Structure 1
Amino acid sequence: MEHIVMGVDIGGSHITAELIDLQKKQEIEETLVRTKLDSHAAAEDIIENWAKTIEQSMEGYPIKPKKISIAMPGPMDYKNGICKIKDQDKYPALYNKNIKEMLARRLNYDVSAVNFMNDAACFLKGELFIGSLSGFDEAIGLTLGTGLGTAHTTNGAAFDSDLWKMPFQKGIAEDYISTRWFVKRYFELSGIQIADIKDLVDHHQDSPHFKTVFAEFSENLAKFIHKFIRKKMPLAAVIGGNIVKAEAFFLEDTRRHLAKLMGYSFPLKRSELGEKAALLGAGTSF
C-alpha cells in the first residue's frame, strides 16, 4: 500500500496529521487529528507530542503508512532534518537538533521513511494537487500570517522561495505583509493595540482607520506579488494563511492593484484547501 502516506503539518502552535490516499487524490478523513502544541517546551516533550498525534492518526486506519511526510516552517536543513529556527519565539529547544532522527526513533521508523519539507512549498503543492491551482503547473504561493511564506514551482516541483526577507519599501517584505504589520500600523493610526487580524475585524470595523489599514495592505501585497511574478514568471498565484480569512476587506483591491501593475488581469486565487493545503502537499511530496 505505497499509495497510503502520512501527511503532517506542524505550525508554531499546532500539529495536524492525516493519512492521504495518493491514488484517489484524497484525504482519509477518519484519520484527521489536530493537537495544540507548546512550542516553548523541552525538545523531548515536543517530539513526544508530535509522535502521539501521528500515532493517533494512524490508529484510524488498518494499514500503517510506510512514509511520513511533514510540512515544517523554516529555517531548517530539510534534507538532513536539522531544525534551524532561532529567535522566532517558537521551538527554541529544537535549534540545531536533528528532529528527523529524534522523531523517527520515537515512532520506530527508519530515518529514510521520514521526510521534512518547507511548509510554504507544501502549501503550494497541495493547492496544485487538488486545490485552487488544479490544472496549473507553473505557479507561486504565499502564506500570509504571523510571518510571510513564499513558494514557487520549477519543473513541477515546489520549492521555498525564501522571499520573506526580500528588500521591500523601507525594510523587508515581512515587515509589510504579516500580522505584525497590521498590529503596528493600526496602533500608529489609532493609538489602539490590537491582538491580531481577527481582533481588528471583530472589534474595529467602525473605526475610520479600518479601511485605511486594509487599503494600504492591499497595495503593499500587490506590489510584492508583482515583484514575485517578475522573478519567477508563473501562470497563476495562490494566497493562504490566517490573514486570508479577512479577504473581504482586501482581496479584490489587491487584484485591481496587481492588474494595473501587470497591464492585464493576472490569476490571483484564494486557497481552497485552507489549513489542509500544507498537509496534502506534504503527503504528495516524498
Structure 2
Amino acid sequence: MNELQELVLGIDIGGSHITAGLVDMNTQQVLKQTYFRTLVNSFGTAEEILDSWTVIINKVFNTVNVSEKKIGIAVPGPFDYEAGISYIGGNKKYDSLYGLNIKKLLAQKLNIPEENILFMNDAASFLQGEIFAGVAVNQRNVIGLTFGTGLGTATCQDGVVADAGLWNSPLFDGIAEDYISTRWFLKYYFEKTDINVIDVKALDGIAATSAVARAVFRKFGDNVSVFLKAFIERENPEMIVLGGNISKAYARFLPHLTNNLKKQGINIPIRVTKLGELAPLLGAASCWAKAVTA
C-alpha cells in the first residue's frame, strides 16, 4: 500500500450537480475540509459545464497541497470510460458534451496529463465505494442498486465491479426505471390523490399521517422485489446494497421488500448505504487503487 499513501480527488457528476472531495487512500475517508458540492447547469454549453467543473476541482486542490493531481470521476452513461468520451444525449442534460473527449478537454483546463484522469460509471462507483469503505467491505459478490431520478444497477463478481445497465430492462408494461424512480412515486401518488408532491422526501414527510403515502411506499417495495428476483437469480449475490436519495426513506419500503423476497425463499441480506453521497467519491477515487495494483 505504500504506493497509495497519497490523496486522490473523487468526483461524482450528477444530473444537476457536481460533488468532489480528496480521498485519503490509507484511511479510506474523504477529507472534510476538501468536500464541496455545487449546482451545475447541465443544460448549458460544453464550455460552461466544463468551466463549472474546473472551478470546483481547483477549489478542492487549493485546500491541500498534493504532490500529483490524480482524479477519479463517477459519471453516468452512455460514456466511453476508457477514452473519456461522453455519449450522453437525448435527455437534454449534458447533451452539449455529446461526442466530446472530456478527459482531454478537462486535462487541458486543469493543466494536468490526460492519464491523471480516470472515469467510472456512477452506479459502479457507488458499489465500488461501499466495497472499498462502506457496508460491503470484504464482500466478493454483491448487487448494488441506486434509487433516484433514475435506476442505477451494478454488480461485483469475485471482487470485480461493473455497471449492470438494467435500468431499461423489461418490467410490467414498460422498463424498470418506469417503476423504480422518483417519477414513478410522483405519478403513482398523483393517480391516487390528484395531489402533486415535489419529491420522495416530501412524500416520506407526510407518510406518518397519510395511509395513501404509506401504501405508495409499499407498492414501491413490490416493484423492487419483482425486479430484484430476476436480478438475484442471474447474479446469485451474497449481499444487496441500496443507495440513492430514495434509499433515505428505506424504513417505508424495505421491510415490505424484504418480506416479499422471503416469501419466495430469498434471504439475502440487504444493506442501506451509510456512506451516502460519499460512496461514489470513494469508488471513483479507488480507481487509482486498482490502477496501481493492476
Q: When the two structures are superposed, what TM-score results if normalisation uses the length of structure 2? A: 0.93
Instruction: Report the equivalent of 1:56.
Output: 59
Compute the displacement of 1:264 (Å).
4.2
Report the residue type matching 1:200 in the other structure: L
CA distance in 1, matches of 2:47, 2:56: 14
Instruction: Report the equivalent of 2:149.
Output: 146
CA distance in 2, matches of 1:210, 1:27: 36
Q: Is the 8 A contact 1:58 1:64 kept in 2?
A: no
The alignment partner of 2:91 has SS state of coil
CA distance in 2, matches of 1:149, 1:7: 19
Instruction: Report the equivalent of 1:16.
Output: 19
CA distance in 1, matches of 2:213, 2:184: 14
**1:113 equivalent among 111, 116, 122:** 116
What does residue range 40-55 of structure 1 map to in structure 2 within 5 Å? 40-55=43-58
What does residue range 114-263 of structure 1 map to in structure 2 within 5 Å? 114-203=117-206, 205-261=208-264, 263=265
Q: Is the 8 A contact 1:86 1:95 kept in 2?
A: yes
Instruction: Report the equivalent of 1:283.
Output: 285
Q: Is the 8 A contact 1:122 1:279 kept in 2?
A: yes
The size of the alignment, in residue pairs, is 285
CA distance in 2, matches of 1:70, 1:101: 14
Q: Is the 8 A contact 1:39 1:90 kept in 2?
A: yes
**1:267 equivalent among 260, 266, 269:** 269
Which string of whole-angstrom CA distances, capped at 9 and with x for unpartnered residues, describes residues 193-228 of structure 1? Answer: 222112222346534421221111101111211211
Which string of whole-angstrom CA distances, capped at 9 and with x for unpartnered residues, describes residues 58-116 of structure 1? Answer: 11112244421100111111111111111224112111211111111100111111111
What does residue range 19-38 of structure 1 map to in structure 2 within 5 Å? 19-38=22-41
Gap runs ≥5 in structure 1: none
Compute the displacement of 1:183 (Å).
1.0
Identity of aligned residues (%): 44
The alignment partner of 2:287 has SS state of coil
Task: Write out the 4+ residue segments of structure 1 that deviate beyond 6 Å after TM superposition.
Answer: none
Which string of whole-angstrom CA distances, capped at 9 and with x for unpartnered residues, describes residues 130-158 of structure 1? Answer: 11111311101000000000000133121
Gap runs ≥5 in structure 2: 289-294
Report the residue type matching 1:97 in the other structure: L
Compute the displacement of 1:25 (Å).
2.0
1:70 and 2:73 correspond: yes
1:102 and 2:78 correspond: no
Q: Is the 8 A contact 2:71 2:285 kept in 1?
A: yes
Say if 1:201 and 1:119 are closer, same or farther in 2 by CA, change over 3 A. same
CA distance in 1, matches of 2:283, 2:98: 25
The alignment partner of 1:86 has SS state of coil
Q: When the two structures are superposed, what TM-score results if normalisation uses the length of structure 1? A: 0.95
CA distance in 1, matches of 2:146, 2:211: 28
